């Protein structure tokens, strides 16, 4: 019976655990995002204020509008798309936060396929 009570307590405790999400802390600032493209680690840097995000990646600069859905989710829409692929907005959902960054899930709006990434804060505005 003691084992059953201990197991129940463990399940109850872990099911109530919520990861930290202080999303408001990340509405503005300068960030870095690392990803692998064709087996090579590449870094992009972006600056975000509440409604605009400017990204620098491999010598190119892109500007996107930011529309917050709630405290932890927003839509990025390229302001100067160079083709059909860049016209599609991207939905971003912050999953967890730390003092210096956050983990997020992203994908094209309307597409069920999602990917995950981590962002590190470089400068807090």
- Residue 1 or 57, more confident: 57
Residue 7 has pLDDT above 50, yes or no: no
**For the segment 43-84, what is each residue's pLDDT rounded down to a tens digit?**
899 999 989 999 998 889 999 999 999 999 999 999 999 888
Domain-located, residue 8: no
Report if residue 2 sits inside a domain: no
Which CATH number is 113's domain given?
2.40.128
Query: What is the pLDDT of the chain when averaged over all its residues?
Result: 86
Round to whole Å and give the CA distance between 97 and 83.
33
Q: What is the DSSP string of 27-67?
A: SSEEEEEEEEETTEEEEEEEEE-SSEEEEEETTEEEEEEEE
Q: How confident is the model at residue 21 (pLDDT cuts 50, 70, 90)?
A: confident
Q: Read off the pLDDT of residues 90-99 as tens digits, 9 standing for 90 and up.
A: 999 999 999 9
Structural domain contains residue 6: no
C-alpha dist (Å) from residue 65 to 35, 76, 78, 87, 113: 22, 6, 7, 12, 22
Q: State the pTM of this model.
A: 0.79
Distance set, CA 119 to CA 2, 10, 25 (Å) = 44, 32, 13
Residue 12 forms part of a structural domain: no
Residue 77: domain span: 19-123
Q: Is residue 10 part of a domain?
A: no
Strand partners, 41: 36
108 is a domain residue: yes
- Domains identified in the chain, total number: 1
Residue 54 lies in a domain: yes
């Amino acid at each position: 019976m003691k084992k059953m009570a201990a197991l129940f307590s463990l399940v109850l405790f872990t099911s109530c655990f919520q990861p930290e999400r202080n999303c408001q802390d990340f509405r503005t600032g300068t960030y870095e995002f690392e990803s692998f493209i064709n087996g090579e680690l590449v870094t992009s840097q972006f600056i975000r204020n509440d409604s605009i995000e400017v990204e620098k990646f491999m010598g190119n600069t892109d500007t996107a509008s930011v529309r917050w859905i709630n405290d932890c989710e927003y839509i990025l829409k390229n302001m100067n798309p160079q083709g059909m692929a860049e016209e599609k907005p991207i939905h971003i959902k912050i999953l967890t936060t730390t003092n210096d960054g956050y983990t997020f899930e992203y994908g094209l709006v309307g597409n069920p396929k999602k990917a995950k990434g981590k962002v590190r804060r470089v400068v807090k505005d």
